[in-house]
Structure 1
Amino acid sequence: MPRTEEEQQPAPQGDPWLAFGYLVSGVLLYGAVGWLADWWLGTEFLVVIGILLGAGLGIYMTFKRFGGMPTSADEQSHGKETE
């Protein structure tokens, strides 16, 4: 039986350190931008917003890179490949 194009492509494999790097770099980069904006504007809340925004974007980049959450169809097809 011919396989569809979707079945021929392997699931994205990734290094967990890459996901960790996305999260840490997002928090550090946007936290630093928030800190600089706080220093420049004389406020005290933008660093927190920067850290939260960086964490959110790091999570988004991780899901985008690794394909998001597996669906039940993905889990079932993965189980058939290992049998």
Structure 2
Amino acid sequence: MSTAIVRFAMGREDSPSERHDPPTPARENPEVTPLGDPWVAFGRLVAGVLVYGAVGWALDRWLDTDYLVVVGILIGAALGLFATWQAVKAPPPEDER
């Protein structure tokens, strides 16, 4: 009896465990990540900027300059964008491989 009251109060006829969602590639294989995930693209861009910015900063300290950190940040941003583009571009058709 209490299950019926909870279902009525929740406004659903089925519980989450009883629902059958259509399969998606991520559910069939959990190691597959969606290509359009904006957080993956953001992570690649930020990682490139942080890593190459840190390399530029270290080179600035070592060589006693003040411009290599900017160069590192720009190179890191460019490589982050390139890595994102490579990950989301469509694969070539089977006949061109």
Q: What TM-score do the two structures reach when normalised by structure 2?
A: 0.56
Percent identity (aligned)? 60
Deviations 1:43-82 (A, max 9, x none): 00000000000000000000000007xxxxxxxxxxxxxx
Moved over 3 A (4+): none
Cα distance in 2 for residues equivalent to 1:65 and 1:40:
35
Unpaired stretches in structure 1, ≥5 consecutive residues: 1-11, 69-83
Cα distance in 1 for residues equivalent to 2:79 and 2:60:
20
Which residue number in structure 1 is paired with residue 84 of structure 2? 62
Provide the aligned C-alpha RMSD in A: 1.4
Q: Is 1:47 paired with 2:34?
A: no
Could you tell me which amino acid in structure 2 is paired with residue 31 of structure 1?
G
Cα distance in 2 for residues equivalent to 1:16 and 1:24:
12
Unpaired stretches in structure 2, ≥5 consecutive residues: 1-33, 91-97
1:3-82 to 2 correspondences below 5 Å: 13-67=35-89
Look at both structures and tell me which one has the larger radius of gyration over its CA atoms. Answer: 2
1:14 aligns to what SS in structure 2? coil
Cα distance in 1 for residues equivalent to 2:35 and 2:64:
44
Check whether the contact 2:57–2:68 (CA below 8 A) recurs between aligned residues: yes
Tell me which protein shows more helix as a share of its residues: 1
